[in-house]
Structure 1
Amino acid sequence: MNMIFELILVIPILLLSLSIHEFSHGMASYKKGDPTPKMQGRLTLNPLSHLDPMGALVLLLTRRFGWAKPVPINPRYYSNPRRDMMVVSVAGPASNFALALIFALALNLVGIFASGPLAMRMYGQSGGLLMITVQFLYLAVIINVSLGIFNLLPVPPLDGSKILRGVLPPSYDRYLNQLEGPLGMMLLLVLAFTGILGAIIGPIVQMVLGLMVFV
């Protein structure tokens, strides 16, 4: 696929996927009694409210993983902070998996009614609107599966670290605290740009894709 053409398809998927991810965090926290996301104007699907330039750049370069601007939350409003923080953290990746399922369903339906294998439609020289539709849906599935898996990694500031914090006894918090802030972000960037991160989540993404896309 031509790189410029792929970027044209990827950008709207990126904006939608990251916006719904952060909106889901904010709504989950709001439902748990925290007014902060609403007060900060983050209970919106407007991509400009959620876009993080570095996270968007990583997603554009890798076509697999990235991040948005975190929604501000205040766990002091939760009735059970450790449990409710886990729920709020799960909401983001769960929204990406839900989007991936929706796009995969649409892709499979297109495959059922299209003449010829999807691979032929995706990479063939002809096909027009059908080819573009297949490519868009396939990229949407890949990006959302990748975002969901990436954000479940137990490395701060990703959602997986907050889920892990809720599972482990409080005595382990100090170890996760050491990776909060710039150190954790630097670790993620090094893993991303050296290809190590792709090697870790790539096989998992392909396995999940194989379960979702079957035509």
Structure 2
Amino acid sequence: MITDYSIQAIAINAIPLIFAITIHEAAHGYAARKFGDNTAYMMGRVSLNPAKHIDPVGTILIPLVLLLTGSPFLVGYAKPVPVNFGRLRNPRIDSIWVALAGPGSNFVQALIWLIFLIALVGLGINEKFLVSMSQAGVTWNLGLLVFNLFPLPPLDGGRILSSLLPARQSIALGRLEPWGFFIVLALVFTGVIGSLWMQPLMNFFEWLILFLTTPLRMIF
């Protein structure tokens, strides 16, 4: 049975999660269009409409299970934006930028949520819902940033690694793509990816956004 606390937690997490995933996927499509591939744009996926990106399992079920089971890491995914890498002007290099666009958008969002949180605290606005939502915004976006950088396809990190590897190794890595997400989920639920990948990188990016907001924190 879902408790009142859980209902409140879901409400606090819903808005930043939807923004995080929607902007992440739209950023991939926007970058692909800039580098020569209109596939996502023609299919209406370069959009901030969450309905075009939400996946029932990755956007709702998995985050809900992790939230209700008290997982220290909150991850999820949306319907992948279609990209025809062969249409990119320089497929090997441009595909790296297309893959980085999603995690990059999460970094920017984490920074914005932190700035919002600093402003709330600095202005003496102690609205618990807004403070908690800001904290959730930072956590979700850092989690999605780090999770998607894991170097295994079909995650963004896997696509980046594939573009950097020699052709033979890149093809071998690509063969893992049909099973890649199941492998990653198994690593998530067994805690392996959390301790060896998520925690160290989340600590680093948390330090980085705190460093970037140092002047603002000094002002307040």
Query: Under TM normalisation by the shorter chain, which class is it?
Result: 0.7 to 0.9
Offset of residue 133 of structure 1: 1.1
Matching residue within 78, 90, 105 for 1:95: 105
* Alpha-carbon separation, structure 2, partners of 1:32 and 1:212: 28
Per the alignment, residue 122 of structure 1 pairs with none
Confirm or deny that 1:62 pairs with 2:59. Answer: no
Which has the higher mean CA deviation after the structures are superposed, 188-197 or 150-159?
188-197
Identity %: 37
CA contact (8 A) 1:10 1:60 kept: no
* Alpha-carbon separation, structure 2, partners of 1:95 and 1:131: 26
Matching residue within 117, 122, 125 for 1:112: 122
Matching residue within 144, 159, 164 for 1:167: 164
Matching residue within 81, 92, 100 for 1:82: 92
What do you get for the CA RMSD once the two structures are aligned? Answer: 1.9
Structure 1 residue runs of 4 or more that deviate by more than 4 Å after TM superposition: none
Per the alignment, residue 146 of structure 1 pairs with 143
Confirm or deny that 1:157 pairs with 2:154. Answer: yes
Offset of residue 166 of structure 1: 1.6
Per the alignment, residue 120 of structure 1 pairs with none
Matching residue within 184, 189, 192 for 2:188: 192
**Which residues of structure 2 form unaligned runs of 5+?**
68-73
* Amino acid of the structure 1 residue aligned with 2:119: L
Relative distance call for 1:106 and 1:66 in structure 2 (3 A) is: same
1:22-61 counterparts in 2 under 5 A? 22-56=25-59, 57-61=61-65
- The TM-score, its normalising length taken from structure 2, stands at 0.85
Offset of residue 37 of structure 1: 0.7
1:127-138 counterparts in 2 under 5 A? 127=126, 130-138=127-135
- The TM-score, its normalising length taken from structure 1, stands at 0.86
1:97-147 CA distance string (max 9 Å, x none): 0000011111112222328xxxxxxxxxxx5xx111110100000100110
SS in 1 for 2:83: coil
* Alpha-carbon separation, structure 1, partners of 2:35 and 2:49: 22
1:23-73 CA distance string (max 9 Å, x none): 000000011111111111101111111011221222233351111100011
* Alpha-carbon separation, structure 2, partners of 1:133 and 1:203: 27
Offset of residue 88 of structure 1: 0.3
* Alpha-carbon separation, structure 2, partners of 1:62 and 1:210: 24
CA contact (8 A) 2:162 2:174 kept: no
